[in-house]
Amino acid sequence: MTLSNARERAVSTGSLLDLLRDGPDAGRLPFPTPVRGTSERDIDTHSTTVIAVKYKDGVINVADRRATAGYTVMYDQAEKVLPLDDHTLISISGSFAKSVEVVRYLRHTFKYFERSQLQPMSQEGKLMELQRVIVNNVPAALQGIGAFIPVLSTFDPDTDQGRIYFYDALGGQFETAEYGAAGSGSGPIRGAFEYILRTKGPFRDMDRATALKETLTLLEIAADLDTATGGSSKHLPAAKYITAEGISDFSEDEIKAGLGRI
Amino acid sequence: MPSFSPYDWNESIQQRNEYIEDRLREGSPVIALTYDAGLLMLTVRHNQRKLYEIYDKLMFGAIGNHSDIEQIRIGAIDVAHAEGFSRSADDVSLQRLASFRLSPAIKKIYSDPFAQPVVLKGIFAELGKTAEKDILLVLSYDGEFTITPGYAVIGGSVGSEDKMADLLKAATAETVPTLDDAVKLALKAWAIGKQHAESLNRPNDDEDETPPTPEEYLAEALKTGLVVEAAVLERNVTREGRYRSLRTEELSVK
């Protein structure tokens, strides 16, 4: 293939999906075909509470580390805050398998576009790619397998501020001014977000340590109220932040301080 | 119906080589070498970009027809991404890419007397876990390729490539240079290579005139509007991509 195919294709669209469909390894598409009439609702590994909040220099993402299937805890060290590129984090909830696959697909899609087209994919373009994946997943989600809902955070150099987007199951995208959360534990703590906003002021005015403390407290509340959300006693939650300089991990000490253990 | 004899084949290959070499002769040399924290690729060019990222640990620079360079580039990117996505980034290797994909495809086109040949000479560079594991590969228009550790050069003629290689061999024999030294070395090699190629193209120049030093030659070239393009693959980074174009202030030229 390669050259002859490249000659036949003549132009590169920059779309990884086109490459996978028409390229050298067509037929090894990673996406499963939905099957009809499944009644098994608990074969999926699920998770989670993920939270994204703005703070004065960017965006913070935190997530618990539990993955469950039905009533079983599958894993206690799941990584649910994942980088898509140097300035974008995706925090995943729902089907763990599907989420990881989607993250892998998006990371490759962005890189493939940038390398082949010699310009990075625009912010809008990246958001559209993510929406499309969610929409394409709707049939599977309706059958009860592979539903996932992400929260996307990014640093926008044009406006010099962090931005957070959350989604519904049909791919609807909403930009939020202060915070976004997803996963089974996000519902019970929604009121707590509002309480913090009204009593302590907006997250986007907080410094990094304060905003981390608030989000970790929210995560701990979610773990108390939701069985699918893990607490911090065995493994520390995952916590990352994005600024104009890129993505950084919170250190273990910063997370412990945020949890009030130091 | 016209017949096609072994003699015709020989003849056509020869003409083909002449045609390609003729087109490559004016090519501005590309130099790649290992430095202490990664791999550097450098050239001096007009407006058209010449150095490209192929995959996480792969970059590419070439001389030749731009449309041919573009096809090889896209072909390499396609293969690397399809493999990296369906298996792992670790399965994308220069050895596999060159031996099983690029080389056979180019060879096929080269040996077909009725196909337009690929006018290209290119360097692929693969960043290893350590400097000793870096791989530099020169791919030619006939599908043949050579792999060298440490450094690689391409230029318009074999003679100028030899001159550049001599310089790099001597300079990197004992030590692995820093990025700054590697840039200086590559610029000097470029000037030597380009100067040599030019002297071949204009053999009737006044022989009494002392030729300019490589530094003078480079300074002259930059005054005519040529610009230095350099890119690195960095071994130890926390950001997503290892490939990075060097900024003007990192290029140690005014």
pLDDT at residue A24, as a whole number? 61
> Do the Cβ atoms of B75 and A2 come within 8 Å?
yes
Report DSSP state, residue B87.
Answer: S
- Which residues in A lie closer than 8 A to residue B74 (C-beta atoms)? 6, 9, 12, 116
What are the residue ranges in chain B where pLDDT is below 50?
Answer: none
For residues B101 and A1, what is the distance between their CA atoms, to the nearest angstrom?
7
Domain positions in chain A: 45-258
- For A12-56, the pLDDT digits (tens) are 778 888 887 777 666 555 555 555 555 555 456 666 899 999 999
Please tell us whether the domain made up of A45-258 is placed in CATH 3.60.20.10.
yes
pLDDT at residue A133, as a whole number? 92
- For B150-204, the pLDDT digits (tens) are 999 999 999 999 999 999 999 999 899 999 999 999 999 999 999 998 887 776 6
Kind plus residue range of the DSSP H or E element containing B228? strand B227-234
pLDDT at residue A46, as a whole number? 67
pLDDT at residue A36, as a whole number? 59
What are the residue ranges in chain A where pLDDT is below 70?
Answer: 1-11, 24-47
Q: Which of A25, A83, A246 sits opposite B86 (nearest CB)?
A: A25
> Do the Cβ atoms of B82 and A20 come within 8 Å?
yes
Smallest CA-to-CA distance from B29 within B181, B157, B207 is with B157
Kind plus residue range of the DSSP H or E element containing A225? helix A208-225
> Do the Cβ atoms of B54 and A115 come within 8 Å?
yes
pLDDT at residue A170, as a whole number? 85
Distance from CA of A20 to the nearest CA of B (A): 6
Tokens representing residue B213 in the block:
């030093």
pLDDT at residue A217, as a whole number? 97
Q: pTM for the complete prediction?
A: 0.89
pLDDT at residue B87, as a whole number? 92
pLDDT at residue B114, as a whole number? 85
- Range 22-81 of B in CB contact (< 8 A) with A: 49, 52-56, 71-72, 74-79, 81
Tokens representing residue A170 in the block:
């049909």
Tell me whether strands A148-156 and A246-249 are parallel, antiparallel or unpaired. unpaired
For residues B166 and B155, what is the distance between their CA atoms, to the nearest angstrom?
14
What residue ranges define each of the domains in chain B, with the CATH number in brackets? 27-246 (3.60.20.10)
